[in-house]
Amino acid sequence: SKKLRDGSLPPDHVFYAYVGKVRSKGETNCITEFLQESESQLRKVKQMEKQGLLYGVPISIKDSINCQVPPGHDSTLGFIKQIHKPAAEDSVVVQVLKRQGAIPFVKTNVPQSLISYDCNNLIFGQTRNPLLFTRSPGGSSGGEGALIGGGGSILGLGTDLGGSLRFPAAFCGICAIKPTGNRLSKRGVIAGIAGQKAVAAAVGPMAKDVESLALCMRALLCEDMFSLDSTVPPLPFNEEVQSLQGPRDLWGELQAENTSPMGGHLARAKCCFPDSPRGVGVLLAPLAPLQPASPSPAGKGSATLFVWVAKAPCWLKTLLPCWLLPEKSQEPSWMPKESLSTPTPLTTSTFPPQDFRHQFIAQWNKLNLDVLLCPMLGPALGIVAISYTMLYNVLDFPAGVVPVTLVTDEDEEQLKGYKGYYRDWWDRTLPKVSGAFRGGVGMPVAVQCVALPWQEELCLRFMKEVETLSLKKNSFF
């Protein structure tokens, strides 16, 4: 970006270099459309009187984010019935990116309906992980994860309702941030569940490094976005937080045992992980489609499960959390007991558990936490559960993913004796899933960084600290 703005890199060279990269990424099957009219946008960018923060930067866009570049492009969500229904106008985030000089040049694949953690549909087929074709790239922003992780794009936009930015980032070895739900405009972004209000979906950037995420957020959080969508709080990027120098006291106390190679790395980091299974589990009753899914490279199973659950009667949906939660519910000692035992309106409505959220924030403040370091599912597995991600959608907290290490032979050897945390049906089943703990050597392992609502800048700052430290030591801590 800096070289484009100072003229040492011509925009044409950068644009066509990434067009060439995209054409070489056919084996991952991550692209749904090349935006032919992006060449016209390139010419407009070169004639700009004022260079924006993303001047000349090619950017990829998730299928569900409307892009109207004439004659308009479909936002299919993987549904055949959505073919040949071009967007009438650009989404607000795409409009702002263009005004900042970015060049949207491709749209990327998603799973059908977006409600899956794999990336497969009947229109475009299965997207593969660029690091290991037999593994899923994650979902629902799986096309973005695969394209950026494979080097075909330098910056992309995705969405997140239960981990849809964070799973692809973790599985493909890149960075992503899920902002607070209404920090960035969602006007012109098509939802997987129309009208769903219980959990706030979010639009967020994906990139190879944290500084690129910060640059994208800085570019989006501007007067253009606030004027184009008056429902977005006019909160510009907080440069003061982002520019703080030197490490801060960001560590809490380790309170969780984790699967995968992450456990040992987190233990060395001394983190505080709020394991809140009941708060998330209750939410799953009215939002039945948001279930732990079992995607595979073949893409089978998850769509069938979604349809079955969607058709299930309401009384059965209310019982689903009993099956999803561990047999031995071990509430964390720090969590207010009343939040786990008090009846919640979620059993009869689709409104978010505000009491639970307030109690969580109160406990956060009581512990005097700045930010939170916690696990992210990984490496790319054959089975996916939302226990590490969904909590921060329910709470509507900003949460980012940073890759910190790679799976080693020693990691896989240690996992041969894995027994799990609760030692319930889920823990007994996980090691039996084909490929769950085998064949992942060299695959990335990531962590989540979490902050309070509207504190994306602090979250990014923390992510940068984690990224710097992991790069410095070539291993996490």
Q: How are beta strands 372-375 and 125-126 bridged, if at all?
A: unpaired
Tell me how crowded residue 422 is: count the other CB atoms within 10 A of its CB.
17
What number of CA atoms fall less than 13 Å from residue 340's CA on the CB side? 15
Q: Which residue of the set 60, 75, 116, 140 is catalytic?
A: 140
Q: What is the DSSP letter of 65?
A: B
Within 184-301, where are the H helices?
Answer: 210-220, 223-228, 239-242, 262-269, 277-283
Q: Which residue of the set 164, 212, 260, 294 is catalytic?
A: 164
Q: 366-369 — which CB contacts under 8 Å span 24+ positions?
A: 367/252, 367/272, 367/334, 369/252, 369/272
Interatomic CA distance for residues 360 and 280, integer angstroms: 12
Q: Is 320 exposed, middle or buried (0-12, 13-18, 19+ CB in 10 A)?
A: middle
Q: Which residue of the set 38, 60, 62, 339 is catalytic?
A: 62
Residues sharing a CB contact under 8 Å with residue 181, sequence separation 6 or more, in sequence order: 200, 201, 202, 396
Q: The sheet that has 399-406: what strands, in order across it?
A: 31-34, 103-108, 58-62, 155-160, 202-207, 175-178, 399-406, 444-450, 372-375
Q: Report residue 297: phi and psi, to 5°.
A: -55, -25
Active site residue 140: yes
Interatomic CA distance for residues 359 and 365, integer angstroms: 10
* 386-63-449-244 Cα dihedral, nearest 10 degrees: -170
Cα–Cα nearest to 284, from 305, 268, 253, 265: 305
The answer to whether the CB of 203 falls within 8 A of the CB of 65 is: yes
Residues sharing a CB contact under 8 Å with residue 369, sequence separation 6 or more, in sequence order: 252, 272
Cα–Cα nearest to 133, from 350, 298, 364, 373: 298
Positions annotated as catalytic residues are 62, 140, 164
